Amino acid sequence: MDGIISNEFAEVACRVDLEANSPRLRLEDLSSGRVRYLDAVELQAVVWLPEGHLRQLLDPSADRWRDDPDEHR
């Protein structure tokens, strides 16, 4: 099942991708076209993140608006 999740800040297309060795979630940021695949272990890690860690991930100034989004600190 495909779907779009959006609010006033973001719009993301979601679907289950069956082309890898196991099912994974395909997420596409519709404003940039950037795509990320998450497998079951990665999704479980997000579910188990403590609230403080999740808030850090949601800080757009941390990674989203850098010149090179793949650059690590």
In a domain, 69, yes or no: no
57 CB contacts (<8 Å, ≥6 apart)? 49
In a domain, 73, yes or no: no
Tens of pLDDT, residues 48-67: 988 888 888 777 776 665 56
In a domain, 71, yes or no: no
Q: What is the pTM of this model?
A: 0.74
In a domain, 42, yes or no: yes
In a domain, 52, yes or no: yes
Q: Around 70, how many Cα atoms within 13 Å sit in the side-chain half-sphere?
A: 3
What's phi and psi for 63, nearest 5 deg? -140, -30
Tens of pLDDT, residues 13-49: 999 999 999 999 999 999 999 999 999 999 999 999 8
Look at the chain and report how many structural domains it folds into: 1
In a domain, 70, yes or no: no
3-state helix, strand, coil in the chain (%, to 5): 25, 30, 45
In a domain, 24, yes or no: yes
> Which domain range does residue 56 map to?
3-63
From CA 62, how far away is CA 34, in angstroms rounded?
17
Paired strand residues for 43 = none
